[in-house]
Amino acid sequence: MPETPEQATERYLRSGEHDAHFRAWPGNDFLARVHCGEAALRAALIAAVHSRTLHLAFPEAVINLDIVAFTREKVAPMVRGLFPACEQALVLDLLERSVILLTPATIDAQLQSTPWLATAWDLANLYLAGLGADLLAEDAPGLLGLSEETTCYLSAASFDAPGRFEDFVVHEAAHIFHNCKRETIGLRATRTREWLLEIDFGKRETFAYACEAYSRLQALGDGPRERQRLLTEHEQGSMPPDERVDAVEYVEILREAVAVRNGWKRILQRCSPPRVARRALLGAA
Instruction: Write the pLDDT tens digit of every residue in 86-115.
Output: 999 999 999 999 989 999 999 999 999 999
In this prediction, residue 285 has a pLDDT band, given cuts at 50, 70 and 90, of very low
In this prediction, residue 58 has a pLDDT band, given cuts at 50, 70 and 90, of confident
The three-state secondary structure class of 135 is coil
Residue 53 lies in a domain: no
Residue 173 lies in a domain: yes
Is the pLDDT reported for residue 221 higher than 80?
A: yes
Residue 188 lies in a domain: yes
Instruction: Write the pLDDT tens digit of every residue in 131-173.
Output: 989 999 988 887 777 888 889 898 888 776 567 899 988 998 9
Residue 20 lies in a domain: no
Residue 28 lies in a domain: no
Domain with 156, as residue range(s), is: 58-284
Q: Per the structure, how many domains does the chain have?
A: 1
Instruction: Write the pLDDT tens digit of every residue in 22-41.
Output: 999 998 999 999 999 999 99
DSSP H or E run through 66: none
